[in-house]
Chain A
């Protein structure tokens, strides 16, 4: 092959290889994005009720759902193995006389034993109550109290413990009702009031525990038959118009609707035969069966972002508290605290690290002679060698105990350094400017070392002065005592300081590269025309370097958003949304690290976690797009290749 053909062949082969490799990388990247999206997006599918034709008898273990009966409903479903622990409880009120209700409690069988009347202990009790009659009762608060319901719309708590059984709690008004349905967790109840369904929940108040209205379920036509509430926290309503509606506890609107085959008077009861399988029993003995698709692991958008009033809460909140392995508890999946925590800690870290990183990059890349730069740049880049774990460990072991007492000193340092340096610059500036070169690179830093040490010391002294005289000891304690600010051992300040150490090397390295390799013609020109070195930088170097600096900032921001270890160990993982730097935060990355390995694959918890990652992805996508547009515009303006 001649030389020319060989070169052409090499060119073609290399182009093919490069294209192929890049396409593979792009596909893998797209695959990552698709995996996140395909795991997260099924969260928003709506359930559907579809007729089912197969008999429900063979319920496989995967579909079995234990039912904890409270009233007359029995457990359903096929129990595959007697070894599975079953816990049942029952209670009854036998009589009410003279303001005292008498009844019995069937204590739960020990887990692992066979359930059955013989094994259960029956405990009688007496409870003081001012209700004339009790239509429904339930133990609450781990058996400490008894919740008593009266059909005419009254609720009263009774204290089961013998010593307190004479305490009479205030009577609370609740909607009138015909029947009470318990819900998993025994913290709220459905009151079936003829044609509407109300939910009341246990809530702490000034008078102790009361039953407060939580929400009313929106029914198109009056309800006729209502199923029990399954462990999936759903129930099915058959209304007078002949429709089946699926409701989820906590959502007032129905999630799915379907016309049933039979019409109103013919349905006797509705029973669950598995987590997503419903049977309608006709009065004449016929059975209609329905399967509900997408019942589990789907959520409303409102659940994820809007404040929601959960069971036991007195007002709507944005909370993140998945139920983990507890049964019958409502999971709280608001993404707001997580997103807020991630973004706020990233921004704070950038506020701390960007001035220092850019300043250092400008100095090393522009002012320093290249000979010195060759040495100093790798030294500063050694800061990159501190992994997130090490920074987090150091901060946890050394910084965290000292931080709360050190806040004033920190502010003092932040003030003193720029102030001292600026004063010094004003005093000695002209002298230095006339002799650049080695002065910039060697003498100036040496001169600044004692100045910096002095100003750090001075900042600490200033801070302790402020502490002692203005705040009587510690600024943080003063704010806690007098302004009611709450502080935490693990706080946003700690996280921000540690995270800024992690983002600093990224921003520094890339910005310095950008500044150093910008063409120096314009800068040389302005210097020759008599501009000061700084103006030479701003006019001559900055325009060419700014796209690179923007890239550096974007990478730094990405690093701060994606950092997991520092947030996991230092933030306290508190899902609160506050601008107070001295309180904890919770980030998406740390939440993923904690909960993702344990969430059951494709459960709603799992999907919500991926959704959080997806939202972060889209957020950074937007920021990166803006940055890219800005970069292109600047590049085009200054004539460097795009």
Chain B
């Protein structure tokens, strides 16, 4: 069994390498004719080394705005979902009593992960944009009406929609991490006079940090790649300006933004198959994968630095 499991792990690594290589090969023109390869090389250079802003890359201009959009929405989502998911998991684990309706809520939240992602887009549009956004407009931005500020799809609502999508992942991972902790930790700290707050945030959370960050890593990976909900709540094929600016509040959350995944979806479906488009699609995919990888690696490195003081002894 040792061998089999080891080979499974190896298989996973090999698969990863194979996928990266495949992407790279396609991006540099593999699978097309020689002329396409040369053209693909130029596109590669243009995307990576020039990275200029421009309209939709049918004319091979840069994807910089899409990269910025993807990173911004993912970061915004992470900032929102990390505390929310952890807090809900803590509530379910520490503060809630074990009644049947708590179980129901728990199952309900776990269930959210199985809803097709476009439903989140519809809900985000119908509820967050048209109800909450419109309400906020009336309260705070009434001077600008009828031009909607937050009552229209934009960066903020896209991030919130993604939060809903990835919340179950974070909650499940955190809860599992908390549940695995030996009860002695909990009881011991309480016995020593800690308040519930101190027990939770001083003892339990650091001990379960590894699982917590795993959940956040999975959430980032999922959200950075989701296209279907974003189509409805703020991602556009061409945004006139970046969602960042040099004056407060630095991030323009009411603007529409470009997104690499959305660009990929659009190109895969609506661009012709010949003349180097495959290389273009593969290059953009490679960029997206790199962006997600850097975000998740950053989080994983963070996880590695939280030494697990309560880790079990290693066996081998």
B296 → chain A closest CB, angstroms: 6
Give per-residue flags for B1-30: 1 if the beta carbon is below 8 A from chain A beta carbons, else 0.
111111111111111100100110010000
Query: By the criterion CB–CB under 8 Å, are B182 and A501 in contact?
Result: no
Query: By the criterion CB–CB under 8 Å, are B224 and A30 in contact?
Result: no
Query: By the criterion CB–CB under 8 Å, are B4 and A418 in contact?
Result: yes
Query: By the criterion CB–CB under 8 Å, are A378 and B300 in contact?
Result: yes
Q: Identify which of B59-67, B82-90, B243-251 touches chain A.
A: B82-90
Q: Identify which of A380-388, A469-477, A577-585 touches chain B.
A: A380-388
Give per-residue flags for B178-198: 1 if the beta carbon is below 8 A from chain A beta carbons, else 0.
011111001000000001111
Query: By the criterion CB–CB under 8 Å, are A562 and B11 in contact?
Result: no
Confirm or deny: A517 has a beta carbon within 8 angstroms of a beta carbon on chain B. Answer: yes
Give per-residue flags for A366-400: 1 if the beta carbon is below 8 A from chain B beta carbons, else 0.
11111000101111111111111110111011100
Query: By the criterion CB–CB under 8 Å, are B9 and A35 in contact?
Result: no
Query: By the criterion CB–CB under 8 Å, are A389 and B225 in contact?
Result: yes
Confirm or deny: A122 has a beta carbon within 8 angstroms of a beta carbon on chain B. Answer: no
Give the interface SS of chain B, mostly helix, strand, loop or mixed: helix
Bound CA span A592–B168, Å: 21
Q: Which of A348-362 contact B (CB under 8 A)?
A: 355-360, 362
Contacts of A382 in B (CB 8 A): 16, 293, 296-297
Give per-residue flags for A563-589: 1 if the beta carbon is below 8 A from chain B beta carbons, else 0.
111000100000000000000000011
- With contacts A8-B195, A547-B179 known, is A387 near B292, CB below 8 A? yes
Contacts of A441 in B (CB 8 A): 316
Bound CA span A527–B228, Å: 50
Contact of A29 among B108, B186, B314 (CB under 8 A): B108
Query: By the criterion CB–CB under 8 Å, are B4 and A18 in contact?
Result: no
A269 → chain B closest CB, angstroms: 44
Query: Chain B: which residue is nearest A597 at the CB level?
Result: B232
Contact of A31 among B2, B127, B289, B308 (CB under 8 A): B127
Contacts of A630 in B (CB 8 A): none
B287 → chain A closest CB, angstroms: 10
Interface size on B, residues (CB 8 A): 110
Query: By the criterion CB–CB under 8 Å, are B315 and A523 in contact?
Result: yes
- With contacts A376-B9, A589-B116 known, is A390 near B218, CB below 8 A? no
Contact of A509 among B214, B227, B312 (CB under 8 A): B214
Contacts of B232 in A (CB 8 A): 597
Query: By the criterion CB–CB under 8 Å, are A613 and B176 in contact?
Result: no
Confirm or deny: A270 has a beta carbon within 8 angstroms of a beta carbon on chain B. Answer: no
Q: Identify which of B38-46, B50-58, B118-126, B151-159 touches chain A.
A: B118-126
Contacts of B255 in A (CB 8 A): none
Contact of A501 among B15, B111, B172, B313 (CB under 8 A): B15
Bound CA span A544–B312, Å: 13
Confirm or deny: A241 has a beta carbon within 8 angstroms of a beta carbon on chain B. Answer: no
Contact of B289 among A25, A28, A35, A385 (CB under 8 A): A385
Confirm or deny: B278 has a beta carbon within 8 angstroms of a beta carbon on chain A. Answer: yes
Contacts of A521 in B (CB 8 A): 312
Confirm or deny: B241 has a beta carbon within 8 angstroms of a beta carbon on chain A. Answer: no
Give the interface SS of chain A, mostly helix, strand, loop or mixed: helix
Query: By the criterion CB–CB under 8 Å, are B9 and A445 in contact?
Result: yes
Query: By the criterion CB–CB under 8 Å, are A389 and B265 in contact?
Result: yes
Contacts of B68 in A (CB 8 A): none
Confirm or deny: B143 has a beta carbon within 8 angstroms of a beta carbon on chain A. Answer: no
Contacts of A523 in B (CB 8 A): 315
Contacts of B113 in A (CB 8 A): 555, 558-559, 562, 620
Query: Chain B: which residue is nearest A432 at the CB level?
Result: B2
Query: By the criterion CB–CB under 8 Å, are A513 and B12 in contact?
Result: no
Q: Which of A113-146 contact B (CB under 8 A)?
A: none
- With contacts A15-B196, A389-B227 known, is A624 near B116, CB below 8 A? no
Confirm or deny: A112 has a beta carbon within 8 angstroms of a beta carbon on chain B. Answer: no
Give per-residue flags for A430-464: 1 if the beta carbon is below 8 A from chain B beta carbons, else 0.
00110011001100110011011000000000000
Query: By the criterion CB–CB under 8 Å, are B6 and A367 in contact?
Result: yes
Contacts of B282 in A (CB 8 A): 393-394, 397
Contact of A518 among B10, B180, B300 (CB under 8 A): B180
Bound CA span A593–B121, Å: 10
Most buried by A among B11, B120, B122, B314: B122
Confirm or deny: B106 has a beta carbon within 8 angstroms of a beta carbon on chain A. Answer: yes
Query: By the criterion CB–CB under 8 Å, are A22 and B172 in contact?
Result: no
Query: By the criterion CB–CB under 8 Å, are A25 and B88 in contact?
Result: yes
Query: By the criterion CB–CB under 8 Å, are B88 and A534 in contact?
Result: no
Query: By the criterion CB–CB under 8 Å, are A558 and B9 in contact?
Result: no
Bound CA span A399–B132, Å: 44
Bound CA span A536–B116, Å: 40
Confirm or deny: B275 has a beta carbon within 8 angstroms of a beta carbon on chain A. Answer: no
Confirm or deny: B252 has a beta carbon within 8 angstroms of a beta carbon on chain A. Answer: no
**Can you list 10 A-B pairs, Cβ within 8 angstroms, ordered by A?**
A25-B167, A29-B112, A356-B8, A385-B293, A445-B10, A513-B210, A517-B180, A554-B110, A589-B116, A616-B116
